[in-house]
Amino acid sequence: MSAIPEKPTLADWQRVIKETVAEKHWAVDPNEVFVLFAEEVGELAKELRKKWKFGTAGTQESAAGELADVFMYLADLANHFEVDLESAIRRKMEKNEGRTWEF
Ligand SMILES: [Mg+2]
């Protein structure tokens, strides 16, 4: 398994995901990775629904696992696009700073 620094940055996570994908021979076609990402978003939605509708105990741990799955596929997709997520988020936050939304 790839070494994970004690306090990893987003760039560290992107590197770890890239190395893990190679080591484990996970899907490399970005179209398939996107479908897997969407599946994990669906699993997260199921956890949210369980909590929302039934207040099911223990959903925090399950939700944490699904959030991790979503993040890992997101990082994998970012790697496919050669996007530095930290820079992308920083740019988007700066853009949103002066923006307003009407709901
Ligand atoms: Mg999952």
Q: What's the number of CA atoms in the CB half-sphere (13 Å) around residue 47?
A: 18
Q: Which architecture does CATH list for 29-92?
A: Orthogonal Bundle (1.10)
Tell me how far the alpha carbon of residue 64 lies from the centroid of ligand 1, in angstroms: 10
Q: Is 41 exposed, middle or buried (0-12, 13-18, 19+ CB in 10 A)?
A: middle
Tell me how far the alpha carbon of residue 90 lies from the centroid of ligand 1, in angstroms: 27
Q: Could you tell me the pLDDT band of residue 1, with boundaries at 50, 70 and 90?
A: confident
Tokens standing for 44?
């997260």
Q: Which of 65, 87, 93, 66 is nearest to 10 (CA)?
A: 87
Tell me how far the alpha carbon of residue 50 lies from the centroid of ligand 1, in angstroms: 15
Do 23 and 2 meet the contact criterion of CB atoms below 8 Å apart? yes
Q: What is the pLDDT of residues 12-52, one digit of tens each?
A: 999 999 999 999 999 999 999 999 999 999 999 999 998 88
pLDDT at 40: 98
Tell me how far the alpha carbon of residue 66 lies from the centroid of ligand 1, in angstroms: 5
Tell me how far the alpha carbon of residue 49 lies from the centroid of ligand 1, in angstroms: 15
Do 59 and 47 meet the contact criterion of CB atoms below 8 Å apart? yes
Tell me how far the alpha carbon of residue 11 lies from the centroid of ligand 1, in angstroms: 22
